[in-house]
A and B are shown apart, each in its own frame.
Chain A
Amino acid sequence: MFTRFRENYIGFETIVIKEVVRVARIWVQTLVPPVIQMTLYFLIFGGLIGSQVRRIDGYTYMAFLAPGLIMMSVINNSYTNVVSSFFGAKFGRHIEELLVSPLPNYMIISGYVVGGVVRGLAVGSMVAIVALFFTHLHIAHPLITISVAVLTAILFALGGLINAIFAKKFDDVTIIPTFILTPLTYLGGVFYSIQMLPMVFSEISKVNPILYMVNAFRYGILGVSDIGIGYAYVIILLFIVALFCFSLILLHKGVGLRT
């Protein structure tokens, strides 16, 4: 039993190493662009426009914005890493290397998810460093900050995997990020507090799961949040379990992978 687990772990570790090496090898594509993009957000929204915005929950707009932008980087990059890597493997057919191997499906999923989490957290950390040039970041609850970032990265890495499983062409890889992920992120409290919205829109915003992740992360750093932190954990964990089970079913059935 232990030997079997050890062998499966070696398979999992192989996927993780391969994914991390891939991210590092093409760092100009994977790490640099999101950091440049976020730096521009800090300059334009935080510096130029933000200086005209009143304080939110007692913090300057730049300080309020920083956790949101870090979380947006984590979300986008964990998702993008898995969707592009897994779909690339599907398109180039080297996913068959894994499909013919005895590695269980849950290990294949976990390997790709960890790859996505590593990139998400790496970019998130770099954006946090950039944020330090613009504002002071005092982390109020380090454990909450780290756990929310990791769990959110896991959730969106799973989302990216499911997108890649269903994708049949390169266009399909960009549809979900463009039409679903980006609007939900922008409307998920990255740039504003939902208390600034009229009641109706504030209530509608609560349907958006990204709101809970951004606010939980902001609570970890600033100690302020629009929603209850407990709700945020429950929602994130529920989504992770649901998406993991769904990915497992898809791989088991071979949807998009086996004929």
Chain B
Amino acid sequence: MRDKYFGVLLLCSIRPQFPAVFAFSTMQALSIRGLTKTYRNGVVALKGIDFEVGVGEFTALLGPNGAGKTTTIGIVTSLVNKTSGKVEVFGHDIDTQIEIAKSCIGLVPQEINFNQFEKIFDIVVNQAGYYGIPRRLAKQRAEKYLKQLHLWERRDDMSRTLSGGMKRRLMIARALVHEPKLLILDEPTAGVDIEIRRSMWEFLRRINQEGITIILTTHYLEEAENLCRRVAIIDHGQIIEYGRTKDLLAKLHTETFVLNLRQPLENLPPLDGYAVTQVDDTTLEVEVSKQQNINALFELLSKDKIQVLSMRNKVNRLEELFVRLVEGKG
């Protein structure tokens, strides 16, 4: 019921001229209905997508390359013209109220798209200006977000001198400077080292808790599993799965565990009911179905005097589900 908001007073972004919307019915941060996109070269990128994101949600949009994620985001942010369908951002139709809808969104695109010959501070301040924020306030906001994203010390440097991770953080600061209600991040942690990635997760978690709705596309499924309460999986231009992350993971019928053994194993004893593969002398891979009890597996191993040093999932659980869905293995 998290996405069922009744009587929400929604003030869209910082633009005071846009009337406060008293929504006494279900209010969605993003509502997409029957969205299709066919490119001029005939490529059908979206085949009628229906997708809703509730206010305050943290949602992942997953899919293999070319599935339609970036096209969907492009249409929502007006960088791509849709072929048909309806898109509403906080109740504002992008066909009739595009300016209000745009003011609600902050976008962190997949590709670096700021002027490489501009100073970091100027990039953020100018972006605020495009959203109608007076220069003095824009400078205050730029300082706030550049500090939060650990870029303040570099504010007078040319943006091209930043590292890959810093460039990503700059795009996040730029997307937040007009304080949007909906933040869309298209693979924000691609090519970023694990330390920076985790600090970015922390930052995103915090701003989501502060009330910003977040939509994230990522190839790091661990990222989606850790951050997002909801996950949509898109493939060949269609949403093939959408729901709470927990519910989706519950659909996994089997999980593969990797067991590291204390002693090298010469002959693999039969472990009745379990599909076991010996990877090397001290490593086993065991497939455990939902109906099976993992304690029983350990009992069998103990009986054969096999001591387990450690155990882990072979792949991230969401990754396993993702691969099964995309490969059509249910």
Where the two chains meet, the residues of A that have a C-beta atom closer than 8 Å to any C-beta of B are 1, 3-4, 6-8, 10-11, 13-15, 17-18, 89, 92-94, 96-104, 253-254, 258-259
Contacts and interface: CB of A to CB of B under 8 A. Distances in A.
A102 B100 contact: yes
Given A10-B132, A100-B78, 14 more contacts: A3-B16, A4-B17, A6-B132, A11-B132, A17-B129, A92-B116, A96-B109, A97-B127, A101-B102, A102-B15, A102-B99, A259-B39, A259-B74, A259-B79
Contacts of A97: 113-114, 126-127, 130, 174
Given A100-B79, A100-B105, A7 B15 contact: yes
Given A89-B115, A104-B99, A259-B39, A96 B79 contact: yes
Contacts of B115: 89, 92, 94
B107 A100 contact: yes
B100 A11 contact: no
Contacts of A15: 130
A98 B113 CA distance: 11
B129 A10 contact: yes
Interface in B111-135: 111-116, 122, 126-127, 129-135
Interface of B: 15-17, 39, 74, 77-81, 98-100, 102-103, 105, 107, 109, 111-116, 122, 126-127, 129-135, 174
A7 B15 CA distance: 8
A8 B127 CA distance: 13
Contacts of B133: 7, 10
Given A258-B78, A259-B80, A102 B114 contact: no
23 contacts: A11-B129, A11-B130, A11-B132, A14-B130, A15-B130, A17-B129, A92-B113, A92-B115, A93-B111, A94-B115, A96-B109, A97-B174, A99-B78, A99-B79, A100-B102, A100-B105, A101-B102, A102-B100, A102-B131, A103-B130, A104-B99, A259-B80, A259-B81
A114 to B, nearest CB: 14
Contacts of A94: 113-115
Contacts of A254: 81
Nearest to B178: A101
Contacts of B127: 97, 101
- Per DSSP, chain A at the interface is helix
B17 to A, nearest CB: 4
A218 B74 CA distance: 50
A98 to B, nearest CB: 6
A178 to B, nearest CB: 26
Q: Which 8 A-B pairs have the closest CB atoms?
A: A7-B132, A14-B129, A101-B130, A93-B113, A102-B99, A3-B17, A102-B102, A102-B103
B33 to A, nearest CB: 21
Given A94-B113, A259-B80, A10 B134 contact: yes
A100 B114 contact: no
A169 B127 CA distance: 26
B187 to A, nearest CB: 15
A89 B116 CA distance: 10
B127 to A, nearest CB: 6
Contacts of A93: 111-113
A18 B123 CA distance: 10
Nearest to A7: B132
A213 B135 CA distance: 38
Most chain-A Cβ atoms within 10 A of its Cβ — which of B16, B74, B131, B133?
Answer: B131
A8 B132 contact: yes
A93 B102 CA distance: 18
Contacts of A104: 99
A17 to B, nearest CB: 8
B322 to A, nearest CB: 27
A66 B207 CA distance: 61
Nearest to A1: B17
Contacts of A98: 130
A99 B78 CA distance: 7
B96 to A, nearest CB: 14
A253 B80 CA distance: 10
Nearest to B45: A259
B275 to A, nearest CB: 46
B81 A100 contact: no
A98 B129 CA distance: 10
A99 B107 CA distance: 11
A182 to B, nearest CB: 28
Most chain-B Cβ atoms within 10 A of its Cβ — which of A94, A96, A102?
Answer: A102
B131 A101 contact: yes
